[in-house]
Amino acid sequence: MTGIEAVANGVQAFREPVARNAAKVLTWLAVLLGGLFIGITTLAGLLHVVPVEYETIVSQLARATLGRGLMYYAV
């Protein structure tokens, strides 16, 4: 879940001006999601990570950058 659905369903909870505040939140979500997408894609390309049956791309990236320590398991 990206949170976009939660914002769309919870517009009533925003303070006035509702539309402006909801638009700000959606803009920040789009920036964050875009940054994550570009970052993960770039890192995967630089580290030559490819899909494998037994490990996800995110797991491979975390292992390659963090090792198999506590932060790897937090990811």
Contact 47, 61 (CB under 8 A): yes
Domains contained in the chain, number:
1
Distance CA 44, CA 39 (A): 8
pTM summary value:
0.69
Q: What domain range is 29 assigned to?
A: 4-74
Distance CA 31, CA 10 (A): 20
- Identify the sign of the CA torsion 44, 4, 2, 31: positive
Confidence tier at 9 by pLDDT (50, 70, 90): low
Average pLDDT of the chain is 86
Confidence tier at 49 by pLDDT (50, 70, 90): very high
Contact 14, 22 (CB under 8 A): yes
pLDDT of residue 70: 96
